[in-house]
Amino acid sequence: MLIGHIHQFTLRQLLRYRAFLYEPRGKLSLKTKCWLGLVKLLGGKNPTLYSYEKSLPYLPVPDLEATTGRYLESVRPVLSEERFKEMEKLAVDFKDGLGKKLQRYLVWKSWWSSNYISDWWQQFVYLRSREPLMINSNYYGVDSLLVPSQIQSARAANMIHALFLYRKQIFKEKLEPQFAMGIIPLCSEQFRRTFNTTRIPLKEQDHLHHHGATSHTVIYHRGRFFRLEAFHRGVLLKPADLERQILKILQDESKPVPGEELLPAMTSADRNLWAETRSTYFSTGVNRQSLGCIEDAAVFLNLEDLEMNYGEEESEDLDSLCRYLLHGNGHSCWFDKSFSAYIFKNGRFGLTAEHSWADAPIVSHLGEYVLIDDVQMLGYKEDGHCKGEPEFDQLPSPTRLQWDIPEKCVSIIESCQKKAELLINDLDLHVLVHTAFGKGVIKKCRLSPDAFIQMGLQLAYFKDQQTFSLTYESSMTRLFREGRTETVRPCTTESCSFVRAMLDPSATKSVKKELLVKAAEAHVDGFRRAMAGQGVDRHLFGLYVVSRYLEEDSPFLKEALKEPWKLSTSQTATQQTKKTDYNKYPEQKTAGGGFGPVADDGYGVSYIIAGEDIIFYHITCKVSSQLTDTKRFSEFIKESMAEMKALFE
């Protein structure tokens, strides 16, 4: 026992080392090489999913003066001179006054909590939000390029089987933990609630309900809900057995009862309305039993009557698929579930995920893992049906969930559907498939691919809006225990200088190139600081929460936190598992996923570097905004990327 504690303590001290983040790739110092060797030695062989959790260091509270200084540096390019001087004065007053008191409380919290910010982030940013989850909070992920089987029942059976195998890997802690640089462990805490988790609507603040280990899937088909048992006599059903069970659902000709078909629209409604309706009409009798079946289910899956497809080119088909995965028709998935899966009529697969329980890399890992298992481990017969023969001759048929929804409740459900349709009609979504070049060319420029893409977005945004704006890029803090995300601020003084030079006819090619390199380096430094727990935004947020608890008013924090993110961006992680080999299986590349716009007059941009020569950009904005247009912005992105590439030719 004592030796184990010493081992954990030693590894935790080693994992506090952050100098490796600031060293060039492939040119590590002798000190870092020795450190990596010790980490590898103490990490042991064949670690389980949660092996490193107690050895990960706690997220540090950044220095107050450093945070206020970095904040001012980040807003300088987007504020007028007068406004900047005002914020500078507020920052100094805060740093020398109330900020010291708030900082002490935050440091005290960091001493006794495993992460000083993650619980507040989940509570105040997600669970206390009263806005509809659909479009405002959820995000989606798309299938691989090639559909391995166009038989809906077969694809659904394979995916359900693969999802339960993945769940078993998590439950048994057999899933391999993730590592930075192949050695430094990342926090695995978010994986715990991947399955059997539902966000329950309550007044003022929702609750994350995690059941544990129920063995059923709820399938939604043509407005009806079915309970499908994935296990029989304690054994996970083989895909061939599941395919027969799913066929029974597809062949069922019963009709939805009043209110049943549109019922999922409640999960796309205002959270207080859903909480009140749930409490009034779904707390007793068959409604409570059926709702409990949905909320306790391991997986929620929709067998869609629509056909969807896409390829390695821009198309309305790809846009339609992504729009549907983000919002469906307002009632096509259960937005409260940790994730909901779609199997379309032609076999295509997709996911939409609730955001409070985990961030996109966790769902991306799940999607990547099960898509690979679907093809490489399970596979299909030549005719598209599941491999193998059914093991059981007689299985209990899937159970239709029963509902008794009063007329008044039906009216509420119908009104929620109408409001959902208004939100859907206000979404503009376009996927840019950038095939002119990808990661391969960017690496030859000796720049970080992420920094190159972010500078391209800065240039495109200025062309589109004729102004600079605060930009959000998500970075992970999973090098720390229970770490989630931090904000990188790509709009910097260096990036603005680069953009101005690109639009200045008198600027030479060499000057533009030099400014691009400087801007990219500044961006990489910002990303490193975020990963090292030295970002600006989570610290300011934590200080603000403390000020609210203490009922202290801070003009600086109010002003700093109300600035809108008119360009919100994120890179979708790819090749997160050792199973992935896109060179060997190029058809298993995916277009990634996306999310809705954060600001009413802003853009949401999610991108995935899908290979050496292809990048997918998922661009969203609101139709009602007169300032934004996804297709116009995508053209500026293509133009900007080409101009930047030309600087190195």
Q: What are the catalytic residues?
A: 355
> DSSP assignment of 21-85, as one string?
GGSPTT---HHHHHHHHHHHHHH-SS--TTTTGGGSPPPPPPPHHHHHHHHHHHHGGGS-HHHHH
Distance CA 487, CA 439 (A): 23
577 Cβ contact list (under 8 Å, min separation 6): 176, 365, 368, 369, 372
Encode 491-501: b = buried (16+ Cβ within 10 Å), e = exposed. bbebbbbbbeb
Give the three-class secondary structure for 296.
helix
Phi/psi for 223 (5° steps) reads 80, 10
DSSP tag of 200:
E
Phi/psi for 261 (5° steps) reads -60, -40
Give the three-class secondary structure for 229.
strand
Residues 314, 434 contacting (CB under 8 angstroms): no
Output the six-digit token pair for 23: 């060293």
Distance CA 130, CA 206 (A): 9
Output the six-digit token pair for 328: 């469906």
DSSP tag of 378:
I
Nearest C-alpha neighbor of 327 from the set 136, 142, 159, 144? 136
Nearest C-alpha neighbor of 12 from the set 45, 73, 60? 60
Residue 38's region, left for phi above 0, alpha for psi from -120 to 50, else beta, is alpha
Distance CA 234, CA 535 (A): 48
**Which residues on adjacent β-strands are paired with residue 397?**
none
Nearest C-alpha neighbor of 371 from the set 579, 79, 191, 603? 579
Long-range contacts of 15-21 (CB under 8 A, 24+ apart): 15/39, 15/55, 15/56, 15/57, 15/184, 15/185, 15/479, 16/57, 18/532, 20/181, 20/184, 21/528, 21/531, 21/532
First CA to last CA across the chain, in angstroms?
Answer: 61
